[in-house]
Amino acid sequence: MSETLFKVTIDNIVIEVPAGTTILNAARKIGGEVAPPTMCYYSKLEGSGGKCRTCLVEVSKGSEKDPRPMPKLVASCRTTVMDGMEVKNITSERVLTARAGVVEFLLINHPLDCPICDQAGECYLQDLSYEHGADKSRFEFQKRTFKKVDLGDKIQLHMTRCILCYRCVLVANQLTNQREHGILDRGDHAQIATYIQKNLQNDFIGNIIDVCPVGALTDKTFRFKNRVWFTKPVDAHRDCNNPKCCGEVRLWMRGDEVYRVTGRIDEWGEVKDASNGKPGWICNECRFDKKKVSDWVIEGPTNVNRHSVISQGHYVNSVLPQETLPEVLNGRQPKLLMDIHNVSEVNKPNIELSALDRPAHSTDF
């Protein structure tokens, strides 16, 4: 039986999608700026979306049968298309104003600690506030704060940065054998917690780091070791013994050192499908314990197409820096070239930063 297709117009672009598709997924098929930003929706996690309101759109015509516009803006990640529906995203002033308001609310309790946050450069809230937010806040009260919590030896929780998107809870529910954390309390007191400071030990729990849109959950094996835009993403794989793990990862390298291992993320900030067609979640062993190049079969540099600062450090089509030494020497052949490492305390060459089991300090460099 042939699939029923609905014709929907989003920002004046007409597209046909199967019945039951959400407005968000229809807009993603068009791509670019027509696709609303998302902070809580994650297509690989069942039941995600409907929490953050960043994906609000205006439905200016309900359907062919009932052309009345919807009175309020709707969450595009949770609203399905109707035949003949007309939707406005970036072409609607109402949407842009509402989205700026949502960003302001999301930032009410969020600290302005991007300069010391490990997520800086790949933070969706940073991008969202840059693209849709105002340049100042009207919030004059004290922000709510929490102490940092170690969720085991590999993951750190900065609850202060959390936007309560629920993605990490859904990962623990749907990917691991037992969920050990959740959202406790309500309203302003709502927080991600394990209740009595438990460790998160499950073998797939590392994926909560990848799905967290902000720097609330960070990888302790990478914390403060390097800025993400100084590292080079490389796609690699290995034969992982864990049958649930796809073994297909992204290595974040600097020189020959593997600083961090993550799942492969697509243009919507979600984990890509692996070559077996299933979502490319990876196990903790691949993520935290395989930090040597020899552990991996390197496939090649990652094609970074997201307009983030990471692509600024990417080496495809980059111009090589000018070699200054031959220019300075101007044809002279010195008898001796000083190795600065023998006389200087800086840039200690023997230290593998990724092998440190703690954040790197100035004394390590």
Query: Rounded distance, CA 250 to CA 164, Å?
Result: 26
Whose structure tokens read 């969706």?
Answer: 124
Instruction: State the helix-helix crossing angle for 93-106 and 124-132, rounded to 10 degrees.
Output: 130
Does the protein bind ligand SF4 through residue 117 (CB under 6 A)? no
Could you tell me which stretch among 49-57, 105-113, 178-186, 192-200 binds ligand FES (CB under 6 A)? 49-57
Of 164 and 286, nearer to ligand SF4 (C-beta) is: 164
One residue of 26, 55, 265, 286 binding ligand FES per CB under 6 A: 55
Does the protein bind ligand SF4 through residue 216 (CB under 6 A)? yes
Q: Give the CA angle between residues 44, 49, 50 to the nearest 5°.
A: 170
Per-residue exposure over 198-236, b if at least 16 CB sit within 10 Å of its own CB, e if not: eebebebbbbbbbbbbbbbbbbbbbbbbbebbebbbbbb
Whose structure tokens read 């993403």?
Answer: 233
Could you tell me which stretch among 211-219, 258-266, 331-339, 356-364 binds ligand SF4 (CB under 6 A)? 211-219
Query: Rounded distance, CA 344 to CA 160, Å?
Result: 39
CB of 37 to ligand FES, least distance (A): 8
Choose the one of ligand SF4, ligand FES, none that binds residue 41, judging by a C-beta under 5 to 8 angstroms depending on kind: ligand FES
Structure tokens belonging to residue 138: 């009207």
One residue of 8, 10, 17, 52 binding ligand FES per CB under 6 A: 52
Mask for 69-108, x = binds ligand FES (CB under 6 A): ------x-x-------------------------------
Contact call for residues 8 and 81 (beta carbons, < 8 A): yes
Mask for 140-179, x = binds ligand SF4 (CB under 6 A): ----------------------xxxxxxx-----------
Residues 15 to 44 in contact with ligand FES, rule: CB under 6 A = 38-41
Nearest to 211 by CA among 252, 258, 251, 173: 173
CB of 24 to ligand FES, least distance (A): 7
Choose the one of ligand FES, ligand SF4, none that binds residue 49, judging by a C-beta under 5 to 8 angstroms depending on kind: ligand FES
